[in-house]
């Protein structure tokens, strides 16, 4: 069954209905011939937020957020449930419009660039009727030649250590593996910024630790800007360069985590930072 | 041995369950699971008995194979005996052998092939026309709010009219020719396909649709990669239900008036009191109905093989 999923009816019928095969990516860059090496990481995109607000009716969820994220940084956002973390991420990736303020994507020099973000949710949101590789290829957008898309997908799958599952159905994977496929799908177009909304929240403790290591490694190899929302302060201080605490729609703490990678569980300095963060999240500072 | 036993029991039950009409795939899924999980004790008990006796395994398995056929084969035998001894008059019921003979004779003369082809073509064209209309309306109303508001209430109202009750009107409109049969069959299959397609599209995971939009899918891509495959299990439920209605409608409309087809064969045979041909017609309807269902199910298993519930 898994061996032939490329020959599966759904795949075959869909291929037949592919409207037109362009030799260009959606952004206009030409698609390279199959034999060339993988796409080089694009330049990371930083963020500049000025007075960002979001209200749902009378519910003022975000109340003026100012934030500068340099290109390539790994930022973690923590905060109580319902404080607006997901809302903020959805604004960053353009899923919703802010009701006030401005969000700009910037390059190394601080100049504005085109928005270039992807998002990974807590649930992987894979298409159960597509093979793992085809799910990843969804991340390249419409109109990319099939053979190219699959090859590109397999390269990213290698990155998240899932090459051998390329032709499987998502239903055959574990929770951690599915989340890695979702990560690969988000990264296959080499975005400048990756937003992650509690991506490891549904995984068991051991899987979570290995996923954290994987995330750190992928971030360092591909060099995108990462914005991670998590409810786990330990996770935040282990992964991020900087942790931001959100409370009642405002930034209440902005903490640098200068420790070099790889970081080890049980590092006393990290534990100290963790304590400060926890106090801030719980409103005890 | 226990595993073999449990396995075959499980498959049998699964088949039996999925044979009944379904309204919701999920419902059947859980049903299958509960039935399967209730199995092991039964299978285990069987094999304990088997080991307590002697030759064991083989007997248990083969019993499972022939036992279901015992009753039907026995009934046919009894029927044949009763007919041969004259206890049942062949005015009322022909003997099984007579039915087989009628089958053979009509098969060789080519009449049977022609009648089956005519009826099959009527059924298929009705399915194609009514099914396409139902499918397109289901998709349109599932995807577009405007289309839904415009037509869904109307369709839900029309659906409550039993389509066979329209026969007098249909005869007035179309006479008793092919159009009448085509119209009735199309009308019959339209609603189950419409309802299940609509339901399927409406129930496609919203998160997946949002995901498709995040990755910049065009409406066409979103339809063919997310919405249609997501609705497909439900569409198949509608198709299989529609197949039943398709044959039923055809049988009724062919017996009103026809000059070819299986219904015509049965009706002319009735005039000449050839009961064996009447019974033959019944058997053929049953075989055609079963065949259509088997094909639909094979198609379903093939197209939905990504779904664990349909994996062999
Ligand atoms: N689409 C929406 N419509 C109305 N209210 C919303 C919507 N999305 C989020 N909210 C509200 O915004 C608040 C913050 O939600 P969210 O950003 O999901 O919090 P969290 O920090 O737990 O991710 C909640 O009070 C929630 O009810
Ligand atoms: Mg959230």
Q: Give the per-residue pLDDT at A36.
A: 38
Q: Give the per-residue pLDDT at B106.
A: 92
Q: Which residues, in sequence order, are CB contacts of A163 under 8 Å at separation 6+?
A: A154, A157
- pLDDT tens for residues B41-71? 333 334 434 444 445 555 566 777 888 889 9
Q: Give the per-residue pLDDT at B212.
A: 94
Q: Give the per-residue pLDDT at A265.
A: 80
Strand stretches in B209-288, DSSP E = none
Q: Does the pLDDT of residue A39 top 80, yes or no?
A: no
Whole-number Å distance between alpha carbons of B124 and B237: 18
**Which of A93, A142, A171 is closest, CB to CB, to B221?**
A142
**Whose alpha carbon is nearest atom 5 of ligand 1?**
A56
What is the predicted ipTM? 0.81
Distances (CA, A) of B60 to A18, A248, B12, B64, B65: 52, 68, 14, 6, 9
Q: Give the per-residue pLDDT at A14.
A: 54
Whole-number Å distance between alpha carbons of B245 and B240: 9
Q: Give the per-residue pLDDT at A177.
A: 94
Q: Does the pLDDT of residue A6 top 70, yes or no?
A: no
**Which of B218, B305, B307 is closest, CB to CB, to A142?**
B218
Asked if A10 and B307 come within 8 Å (Cβ–Cβ), the reply is no
- pLDDT tens for residues A17-31? 554 344 444 444 444
Asked if B229 and A127 come within 8 Å (Cβ–Cβ), the reply is yes
Stretch 118-177 of chain A: residues touching chain B, C-beta under 8 Å: 118-119, 121, 123, 125, 127-130, 138-139, 141-142, 169, 171
Whole-number Å distance between alpha carbons of B139 and B164: 26
Q: Give the per-residue pLDDT at B240.
A: 94
Give me the residues near ligand 2 (ion), CB cutoff below 5 Å. A 86
Q: Are A157 and A163 in contact (CB under 8 A)?
A: yes
How long is chain B?
Answer: 312
Task: Provide the phi-psi class of B300: left if phi over 0, else alpha when psi is between -120 and 50, else beta.
Answer: alpha
> Could you tell me the residue ranges of all domains in chain A?
128-190
> Could you tell me the pLDDT band of residue A222, with boundaries at 50, 70 and 90?
confident
Residue stretches of chain B with pLDDT short of 50 = 1-54
Q: Give the per-residue pLDDT at B44.
A: 39
Over residues A127-133, mean pLDDT: 94
Over residues A9-22, mean pLDDT: 50
Asked if B216 and A19 come within 8 Å (Cβ–Cβ), the reply is no
Q: Does the pLDDT of residue A32 top 50, yes or no?
A: no
Q: Tell me what percent of the residues of chain A surpass a pLDDT of 90.
A: 62
Q: Give the per-residue pLDDT at A262.
A: 80
Q: Give the per-residue pLDDT at B296.
A: 94
Q: Give the per-residue pLDDT at B61.
A: 66
Q: Give the per-residue pLDDT at A17.
A: 53
């Amino acid at each position: 069954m898994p061996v032939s999923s490329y020959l599966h009816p759904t795949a075959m019928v869909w291929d037949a209905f592919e409207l037109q095969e362009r030799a260009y990516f959606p952004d206009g860059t030409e698609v390279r011939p199959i034999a060339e090496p993988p796409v080089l990481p694009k330049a990371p995109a930083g963020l500049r937020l000025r007075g960002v607000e979001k209200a749902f009716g009378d519910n003022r969820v975000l109340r003026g957020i100012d934030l500068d994220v340099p290109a390539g940084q790994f930022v973690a956002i923590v905060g109580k449930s319902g404080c607006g973390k997901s809302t903020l991420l959805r604004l960053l990736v353009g899923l919703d419009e802010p009701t006030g303020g401005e969000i700009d994507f910037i390059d190394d020099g601080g100049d504005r660039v085109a928005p270039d973000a992807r998002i990974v949710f807590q649930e992987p949101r894979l298409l159960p009727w597509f093979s793992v590789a085809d799910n990843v290829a969804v991340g390249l957008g419409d109109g990319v030649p099939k053979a190219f898309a699959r090859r590109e997908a397999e390269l990213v799958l290698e990155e998240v250590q899932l090459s051998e599952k390329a032709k499987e159905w998502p239903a055959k994977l574990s929770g951690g593996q599915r989340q890695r496929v979702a990560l690969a799908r988000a990264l296959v177009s080499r975005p400048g910024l990756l937003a992650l909304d509690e991506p490891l929240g549904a995984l068991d403790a051991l899987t979570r630790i290995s996923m954290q290591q994987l995330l750190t490694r992928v971030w360092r190899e591909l060099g995108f800007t990462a914005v991670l929302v998590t409810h786990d302060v330990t996770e935040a201080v282990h992964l991020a360069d900087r942790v931001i605490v959100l409370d009642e729609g405002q930034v209440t703490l902005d903490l640098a985590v200068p420790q070099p990678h790889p970081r080890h569980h049980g590092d006393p300095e990290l534990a100290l930072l963790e304590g400060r963060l926890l106090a801030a999240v719980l409103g005890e500072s | 041995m226990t595993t073999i036993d449990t396995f075959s029991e499980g498959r049998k039950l699964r088949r039996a369950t999925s044979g009944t009409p379904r309204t919701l795939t999920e419902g059947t899924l859980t049903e299958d699971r509960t039935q399967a999980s209730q199995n092991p004790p039964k299978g285990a008990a069987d094999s304990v008995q088997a080991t307590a006796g002697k030759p064991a395994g083989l007997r248990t398995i083969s019993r499972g194979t022939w036992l279901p056929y015992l009753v039907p084969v026995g009934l046919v035998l009894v029927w044949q005996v009763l007919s041969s001894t004259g206890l049942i008059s062949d005015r009322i019921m022909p003997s099984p052998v007579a039915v087989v003979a009628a089958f053979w004779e009509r098969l060789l003369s080519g009449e049977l092939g022609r009648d089956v082809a005519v009826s099959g073509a009527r059924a298929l064209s009705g399915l194609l026309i009514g099914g396409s209309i139902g499918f397109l309306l289901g998709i349109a109303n599932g995807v577009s709010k405007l289309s839904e508001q415009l037509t869904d209430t109307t369709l839900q109202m029309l659906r409550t009219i039993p389509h066979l009750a329209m026969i007098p009107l249909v005869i007035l409109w179309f006479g008793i020719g092919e159009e009448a049969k085509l119209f009735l069959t199309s009308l019959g299959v339209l609603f189950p396909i419409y309802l299940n397609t609509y339901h399927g599209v409406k129930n496609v995971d919203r998160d997946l649709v949002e995901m498709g939009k995040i990755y910049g899918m065009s409406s066409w891509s979103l339809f063919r990669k997310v919405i249609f495959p997501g609705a497909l299990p439900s569409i198949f439920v509608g198709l299989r239900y529609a197949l039943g209605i398709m044959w039923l409608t055809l049988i009724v409309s062919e017996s009103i008036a026809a000059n070819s087809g299986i219904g015509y064969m049965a009706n002319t045979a009735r005039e000449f009191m050839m009961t064996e041909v009447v019974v033959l017609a019944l058997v053929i309807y049953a075989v055609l109905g079963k065949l259509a269902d088997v094909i639909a199910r094979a198609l379903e298993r093939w197209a939905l093989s990504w779904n664990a519930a349909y994996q062999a």
